[in-house]
Amino acid sequence: MKKILIMATNMNVGGVEKSLLSLLSEVPKGKYDITLYLLEKKGGFLDFIPSWIRVIEVDWYKKIKPIIMQSPHQIVKNYYLNNEIKRIPGFISTYFISKKTDNRYFYYKHVFNQIPFNADEFDIAISYQGPTDIIDYYIVKKVKAKKKIAWIHFDVAKHNINQKLYEKLHCNFNKIYVVSEEARKNLLEKFPNNKEKSEVFLNIISSNYISEMAKERINFDKNYKGLKIVTVGRLSLEKGQDLAIKVLQKLKEEGYKVKWYCIGEGRDRGLFEGMIDKYDLKNDFILLGAKANPYPYIAAADIYVQTSRHEGYCLSLAEARSLNRPIVTTQFTGVSEQIINKYNGLISTFNEEEMYMKIKSLLDNNEKRNFLSKNLEGDNLDTISEINKLFNYID
């Protein structure tokens, strides 16, 4: 039985984690010996991982996390306080070399010097949550495997990554999976040497599973008689909830009886809560938090809106399509692979006035909402067969 290592940050409720969960759920029990390494063994999806998969929190991340996250001044101070003075000259020199050459590879080489090589040997090692510096570097430099796969879920044209670091790391991967055609195109513009080894691998979606999960009974503001807008995504500027808040303010000023519900959690919750208070939307823009099963909320929405600034492939948008919701979305990487403008959804630039007008047109016209929903009904969104690409490559 072939041994596979998959590595990710954690199992928080998010799009990348959900795509990993979907992938793991489609692997037949007993086909492979799979170990999942997590930097931190936590998250709302943790309990949904198939029981036969070995889940391990790496023991070295807590040691290097402060070095990655803190300022150089604080790192030197910590070395001094922890009686690791011998590490200070090496850290300072590699920090300045990395900064001068704009090459983070030297920096990570210093950081990982104290991390031992993994004692196990694998047939396949997968850095799933890419591009993630720590995970990619560990798989390349500290893991022994016959084949290594990098899995890119973000648009590298928009995601801030260190060019020289990834040129060096990508040389050591045998295969690079990218989650949309447009994201692969952007990857090759930045890293043309990846052309032969890169391939599109769509996120796995099961329409039947989503439909069944959407039947769960929930108490979703049942007494409210107005229209409901739903957005799914972690609370971060990348996902654009700030645009949503501004658009809702305009709609309320125009007298629309509408509430906007956001499913997700994230580092920018405080920022958005401040905006909600500023625009006096406390009873109208509702932060529902993370939901392991967002599908009943999407299914109950009158309109589903995606406000992302950028995506690799937007899984929540695909899920809203699967549930035939009228959709308004911003124009990000991969959106044209999902939405035909004015046919099965409306596409807007990341612009407050344009997004407002698109949503307003659907609020005003129930027939238009029904038209978009009906045109989604015939779409075959199942991508379960994508997993055969991985099986074929492994075998």
User: Is 44 in contact with 290 (CB distance < 8 Å)?
Assistant: yes
In this predicted structure, the answer to whether residue 318 has a pLDDT above a threshold of 90 is: yes
CA dist 372 and 388 (Å) reads 32
In this predicted structure, the answer to whether residue 307 has a pLDDT above a threshold of 90 is: yes
CA dist 304 and 293 (Å) reads 16
User: Is 333 in contact with 158 (CB distance < 8 Å)?
Assistant: yes
% the chain with pLDDT above 90: 83
Domain, as residue range, for 121 = 3-60+115-201
For 207-240, write each residue's pLDDT tens digit: 889 999 999 999 999 899 999 999 999 999 999 9
For 273-294, write each residue's pLDDT tens digit: 999 999 999 999 999 999 999 9
**Residue for token pair 């008689």:** 225
Domain boundary (162, 185, 201) is at 201
CA dist 128 and 47 (Å) reads 19
Q: Are residues 48 and 81 in the same domain?
A: no
CA dist 85 and 216 (Å) reads 57
> Is residue 236 included in any domain, yes or no?
yes
For residue 199 the two structure tokens come to 């391939």
What is the three-class DSSP state of 201?
coil
Q: Are residues 294 and 227 in the same domain?
A: yes
Question: What residue type is assigned to position 334 of the chain?
Answer: G
Question: What residue type is assigned to position 252 of the chain?
Answer: K
Q: Are residues 24 and 149 in the same domain?
A: yes
Question: If you average pLDDT over residues 34-38, what whole number do you get?
Answer: 98
Instruction: Please give the mean pLDDT across all residues of the chain.
Output: 94
Q: Residue 231: which of 342, 333, 316 has the closest Cα?
A: 316
In this predicted structure, the answer to whether residue 198 has a pLDDT above a threshold of 90 is: yes
User: Residue 346 gets which letter from DSSP?
Assistant: E
Domain boundary (77, 92, 114) is at 114
For 39-53, write each residue's pLDDT tens digit: 999 999 999 999 999
Q: How much is the pLDDT for 240?
A: 97
In this predicted structure, the answer to whether residue 80 has a pLDDT above a threshold of 90 is: no
% the chain with pLDDT above 70: 100
- Domains of the chain: total: 3
For 342-387, write each residue's pLDDT tens digit: 999 999 999 999 999 999 999 999 999 999 999 999 787 889 999 9
Q: How much is the pLDDT for 2?
A: 96
Q: How much is the pLDDT for 79?
A: 86
Q: Which pTM value belongs to this model?
A: 0.90
> Is residue 347 included in any domain, yes or no?
yes
Backbone dihedral angles phi then psi of residue 263, each to the nearest 5 degrees? -105, 125
Q: Are residues 171 and 257 in the same domain?
A: no
Q: How much is the pLDDT for 378?
A: 77
CA dist 147 and 126 (Å) reads 9
Question: If you average pLDDT over residues 299-308, what whole number do you get?
Answer: 98
Q: Are residues 179 and 275 in the same domain?
A: no
> Is residue 250 included in any domain, yes or no?
yes
For residue 53 the two structure tokens come to 């998969």
Q: Are residues 148 and 138 in the same domain?
A: yes
Give one word for 34, left, alpha or beta, with left for phi > 0 and alpha for psi -120 to 50: beta
Q: How much is the pLDDT for 122?
A: 98
In this predicted structure, the answer to whether residue 103 has a pLDDT above a threshold of 80 is: yes
Under the banding of pLDDT at 50, 70 and 90, the label for residue 78 is confident
Neighbours of 247 (CB within 10 A): 27
CATH number of the domain bearing residue 127: 3.40.50.2000
Question: If you average pLDDT over residues 170-178, what whole number do you get?
Answer: 97
Q: How much is the pLDDT for 160?
A: 84
Q: Are residues 284 and 215 in the same domain?
A: yes
